[in-house]
Chain A
Amino acid sequence: MKIRKSTVYEKLGFFLFRSAAWLVLLVVLLILLDIFYKGGQSISWEFITSKPRKGMTEGGIWPAIVGTFWVSLVTIFFAVPAGVFTAIYLNEYAKQGLVVRIIRLAIRNLSGVPSIVYGLFGFGLFVLMLKLGLSVISAGLTLGLLTLPWTITSSEEALKNVPMSYREGSLALGATKWQTIRINVLPYAMPGMLTGAILGLARAAGETAPILFTGAAFFWPVLSKFPKVLDSQFMALPYHLFIMSTQHHEIAKVRPLAYGTALVLIVLILMMNVLAIGLRYHFRKKYKRN
Chain B
Amino acid sequence: MPRLLKAGLGKLDNMIKKVKYSGLIRLKEKTIEYFFLANGLFAIVVLIGIFSLLFTESLPALKEINPVEFLKINWDPTSPEKAEYGLLAMIVSTIMATLGAMLIAVPIGIATAAYIADIAHVKAREIIKPVIEILAGIPSVVVGFLGIVVVGPFLAKLFHTANGLNAINGAILLAIMALPTIISISEDAIVSVPQEFKNASLALGANKWQTLVKVTIPAASSGIFASVMLGMGRAIGETMTVLMATGNAPAMPHALTDPIRTMTATIAIELGETVQGGVHYHSLFVIGVVLFIMTFIVNLVADLVLHKYEKVNR
Chain B interface residues (CB < 8 Å from chain A): 20, 25, 28-29, 32-33, 35-37, 39-44, 46-47, 49-50, 53-54, 57, 107-108, 111-112, 114-116, 119-120, 124, 127-128, 130-135, 137-146, 148-150, 176, 179, 183, 207-210, 212-213, 230, 233-234, 236-240, 243-244, 264, 267-268, 271-272, 276, 284-285, 288, 291-292, 295-296, 298-300, 303
Contact = CB atoms under 8 A, between A and B. Distances in A.
B13 to A, nearest CB: 10
Interface of A: 6-7, 9-10, 13-14, 16-18, 20-21, 23-25, 27-29, 31-32, 34-35, 82, 85-86, 88-90, 92-94, 99-100, 102-103, 105-110, 112-121, 123-125, 128, 145, 148-149, 152, 174, 176-178, 202-203, 205-209, 212-213, 238-239, 241-242, 245-246, 255, 258-259, 262, 265-266, 269-270, 273, 277
A89 B39 contact: yes
Given A21-B111, A209-B264, A246 B298 contact: no
B218 to A, nearest CB: 15
Instruction: Please provide the 9 A-B residue pairs with the shortest distance between their CB atoms, ordered closest to farther.
Output: A114-B237, A206-B139, A20-B111, A10-B209, A112-B299, A85-B39, A89-B40, A89-B36, A209-B239
Contacts of A18: 115, 119-120
A128 B66 CA distance: 27
22 contacts: A17-B119, A20-B108, A31-B142, A35-B146, A85-B40, A86-B43, A89-B40, A93-B33, A103-B40, A107-B43, A108-B303, A109-B300, A112-B296, A119-B268, A125-B53, A178-B29, A206-B138, A206-B140, A208-B239, A245-B144, A246-B148, A269-B137
B29 A177 contact: yes
A203 B49 contact: no
B220 to A, nearest CB: 14
A105 B304 CA distance: 10
A27 B300 CA distance: 30
Contacts of B240: 208-209, 238, 242
Contact of A6 (B57, B124, B207, B288): B207
A106 B296 CA distance: 10
A16 B107 CA distance: 10
A51 B14 CA distance: 58
A6 B201 CA distance: 15
B207 A265 contact: no
Contacts of A238: 139, 141-142, 240
A7 B207 contact: yes
A83 to B, nearest CB: 9
A45 B267 CA distance: 37
A28 B137 CA distance: 11
Given A242-B141, A242-B244, A21 B32 contact: no
A89 B44 CA distance: 14
A284 B229 CA distance: 34
A232 to B, nearest CB: 18
A124 B49 CA distance: 11
B291 A116 contact: yes
Contacts of B149: 34, 245, 255, 259
A116 B264 contact: yes
B236 A114 contact: yes
B131 to A, nearest CB: 5
A82 B42 contact: yes
Given A88-B36, A148-B46, A208-B140, A176 B179 contact: no
Contact of B44 (A10, A106, A262, A270): A106
